[in-house]
Every structure is written in structure tokens, then in C-alpha cells.
Homo-oligomer: A and B are copies of this chain.
């Protein structure tokens, strides 16, 4: 038990380092080192934990959870949680050589899913009801990848014109401005949306209002939408019909990326009007072709 305790403190310390580094720059060589260390430590930590098979109510997906004493982690997708430290080091090499697209999409998805799930599951077992640490980790991790790929650091607020008073600053989700006359992304990052999904479209509508429709392309990145019942059954909480209405009546989101795309949202890409929901790996292949419609 003593050793366990030490390991969990190491994970928290690495998370604090990630935060410190992330406040300076989302993308940095230091961040790569910290992320690699986090993956290594969380894997070692979880290797000693009990694994519980969960009952999947989602067609074609299977899930398990890690457990320690009274605590159980969130549901983990068995097929996606399937990458090693060596796999991550391959991704790291391709990040440094600027050619992540050389890997198959499925490989990228598995590696990114595994490192995030590994951290989330560890925190679920170390802390009690802590949503903030895992959410913040996910934000830094995705901002690191996005920032590397598009080549600019994000901002977290925008200037708003105000005809009477002084101009005001509006806090926002991540905003990546690739420069004068170039692409601009609006990227909310959330582990899941649940009953709060309408906020993605509302923030897009606000940016549309302040800067013009689709000046910023909305490309939220999400983790998953799973929920485990107290009978150990896993479902995905999805509202596809409502999402279509948000896309029709509030604002247009360009893409919605998931590390584990919920079944009910996959089909939205083929409906009219299309709302394109994709695995996050696709972003690396298509980001440069994305344009306001």
C-alpha cells in the first residue's frame, strides 16, 4: 500500500508540471516529455489494479473498468485501449518529424485514446469525484496536438466591440487563428457533453455574432459519451435528433471529433443537413482542407 501511495503522488505531480508548462505554451518539447512520463506512470499504476468486465449495451463495443478498493474507474473501450508506450513513442517521433499522417488512422486513434483513458482511470482511482483534473488534462492534451498540427498557440478570449463603453474581452474556448486571411478554429474540448451539448452551438453562435458567420470554424473535440449504471451496464448518452436541430437553428459546427465516436452520432454525417462527427485522427488528415462552407 505504501508503494501505491507514492505512485499516485508521482502522477499528480506530473499533472501539475503539465499544467505549469501548458500555461506557458500548449505545444513544447517539455510537454512531450511530461506526457510520455504520465503515460508510463499511469500504465504502471493501472497494471497493479483489478480489471472488471462491464456489460456493454452499445452494439459492437465492449468495455471494462479498473478498480481499487471501493473505487471504480469510468468505462474504458476495450478495442481502443490497446496501445503501448512504444506505440506512443512512434507517435512522438512522427510529431517531431511532422508526419503523423504516415500512421494509419486507427493506430493514431488507439494511441491517443489509450493515453487519455490511462490518465482518467488513474485519477478515478486516486481521487474522489474529481472531474476537474481529468477535464483539464484532456484540454491540455488536445490543445497540445492541435497546436502542434496547425502551428500556432491558441487564445482563450476575444475582443468584443462595444459601441458605448470600452471594448470588452469575452472568455472563450480555445481559438486558433492561423493568421491574416487564413483559417481560424473554435475548439471547445470536453470529456463529454451530456445534457450540456447545446453549449457547443451557443458558443459558436456567439462567435458568429461578434466576428461574422463561420469566421471561426467550430471543431469541438470530445472524449466519449459513456455512462456506467450501478449494475455495471454501459450505455452511450446521445441526443442525435436534438443535435440536428441545434445545427439547423443555432449555428453550424464544421466538425465534431471524438476519441471514441458514439454509435448514435456516426450516422449524422449521412443525414441532411449533414453534421459531421468523426474520430479525432481524421483531423490530422483533413485540417488543411477545411474551409467555412
Measured CB to CB, the residues of A under 8 A from B are 129, 160, 164, 168, 170-171, 196, 198-199, 201-203, 205-206, 208-210, 241-242, 245-246, 248-250, 272
Please, which residue of chain B has its CB at the minimum distance from the CB of A248?
Answer: B209
Contact of A205 among B129, B171, B242, B250 (CB under 8 A): B250
Q: Is the interface of A mostly helix, strand, loop or mixed?
A: helix
In the bound assembly, the distance between CA atoms of A129 and B128 in angstroms comes to 13
Complex alpha-carbon distance, A198 and B188, angstroms: 14
- How far does the Cβ of A263 sit from chain B's closest Cβ, in whole Å? 19
On whether A170 and B203 interact (CB within 8 A), knowing A164-B272, A196-B196, the answer reads no
CA A272 – CA B129 in complex, angstroms? Answer: 42
* Set B170, B199, B210, B246: member contacting A206, Cβ < 8 A: B246
Interface residue from B160, B198, B241 paired with A203 (Cβ < 8 Å): B198
| Chain B positions within 8 Å of A201 at CB level | 202
Could you tell me the distance between the alpha carbons of A202 and B201 in the complex, rounded to whole angstroms? 8
